[in-house]
Structure 1
């Protein structure tokens, strides 16, 4: 449901900065179903990749073999990402707070963490410069926290126009998709629940959130995956 919901949010006229894992699965599902014109950009420098299977990493040869062009990593960031040429950036998170700030650095005190995480990679630049950021993460009180332990990738700060005040060009997180539902920022940039997945109610989502989650006046229910979506998703996974 997470993969399908994320795929549905993409359009064929967009350029999407894709990470390995669920974001790559969602982007390739979108490209092979309703959005054949979706341009996939991977951090390794492949522009317009059209893999016939899910890549194992950003260095998977199938990305270069099926790309419109292959450029250097600095070019991806300097000439595509930072000038605002990427419409959607997909990010994951170990921790996410109510304003969409992301932690992938450390759990606990930075100098003496309980857990040292993989770190930033290109995520801070993606969060800063993509026109929009979609976050895909499984929801629990461990991952959805009142305040992240470390701000790896800036979301909306403490809200109320802080991104604009810092001069960040992108809109930041505009969509958060979890295994329970969908959230979007309101006028203050705080994430609110706008949809639940089939079989999930709002209280379940609130119980899995580490802050007092606010709920939209009208919460919709996401459509279950169609037969065509499931068939395309299974085909991608079977080929990998």
Structure 2
């Protein structure tokens, strides 16, 4: 075992593994991670348990394991993959609610918002046409809210209200935060706590969440990275340790 592998597993590395798991068994789809830790996670998934993933530089190129271009993906082809459900994107969220509605547009009333953010961008099309997971590094009640100020990414309740045309391809596999992993595998499709990182308690997660989570009687810890995964994260994919800047200890 190398010196890098011998160090204790950090919170950021648990987050990387949790993000990587979002693409397990996805097959040959375009992985579109937004954010540093999701990007490390996508590359880890491709190097280990999801070798058929396609990786993109976020613009017009398909890239290999070393980040070098190995194919051209013009925007029209990218959109074809989106509308055909052949992409799994992991987006960020300025707000997310119990049913997975996501907001990246504004904070406050639309008529006079207190904060202007990125804008709706492609979130509605993403969520209604291909799997969308979310990455939230700083888990707080300001982000995990009872109701988002504006719906950008469509949640399960709004998709159901819109009918079969909206629900046919709508899927939110998981939400990964700096405190744990969540999904929507509940009867009413509300958010459920799936796993915690070592050192995090259920009580802490509840305090940092602005709505009532579904919490199983027994909540496991997020799986540890294997020795080979740690080697890849620390020595190959992110040797500069940039992941540690995104998540606190």
1:155 aligns with 155
**C-alpha separation in 1, matches of 2:230 and 2:32:** 21
Q: Who is 1:94 aligned against?
A: 94
Q: In structure 2, do the counterparts of structure 1 residues 155 and 140 end up closer, same or farther at CA, with 3 Å as the change threshold?
A: same
Aligned 1:211-226 pairs, distance under 5 A: 211-226=211-226
Counterpart position of 1:236: 237
Aligned residue pair count = 223
- How far 1:187 moved relative to its partner? 2.1
1:4 to 3, 6, 17: 17
Higher strand share: 1
Give yes or no for contact 1:16–1:40 (8 Å, CA) kept in 2.
Answer: yes
Q: Following TM superposition, by how much is the alpha carbon of 1:20 offset from its aligned partner in structure 2, in angstroms?
A: 3.6
User: Which runs of 5 or more structure 1 residues have no equivalent in the other structure?
Assistant: 54-61
* 1:155-193 Cα distance to aligned partner (Å, 9 max, x none): 21357x336445343232121111111111112110111
Q: Could you say if the C-alpha distance between residues 84 and 98 of structure 1 is closer, same or farther in structure 2, counting changes exceeding 3 Å?
A: same
Residue 100 and residue 134 in structure 1: after superposition, are their counterparts in 2 closer, same or farther (change >3 A)? same
Q: Report the CA distance between 1:221 and its aligned residue.
A: 1.2
Which structure carries more relative contact order (alpha carbon 8 Å, separation 6+)?
2
User: Which deviates more, 230-239 or 163-172?
Assistant: 163-172
Secondary structure at 1:66 match in 2:
strand
Question: How is 1:15-164 mapped onto 2 (pairs within 5 angstroms)?
Answer: 15-21=29-35, 22-41=37-56, 43-47=58-62, 49-53=63-67, 62=68, 65-67=69-71, 70-77=72-79, 79-86=80-87, 88-130=88-130, 132-138=131-137, 139-157=139-157, 161-162=160-161, 164=163
TM-score of the pair, normalised by structure 1: 0.83
Q: Distance in 2 between matches of 1:80 and 1:119?
A: 22
TM-score (norm 2): 0.80
Query: What SS does the aligned partner of 1:167 have?
Result: helix
1:59 aligned partner: none
Question: What SS class does the counterpart of residue 239 from structure 2 fall into?
Answer: helix
> 2:96–2:102: 8 Å Cα contact kept in structure 1?
yes
> Does the 8 Å CA contact 1:33/1:232 hold for their aligned counterparts?
no
Give me the whole-angstrom Cα distance separating, in 1, the residues matched to 2:55 and 2:163.
Answer: 27
Structure-2 separation of matches of 1:42 and 1:124 = 22
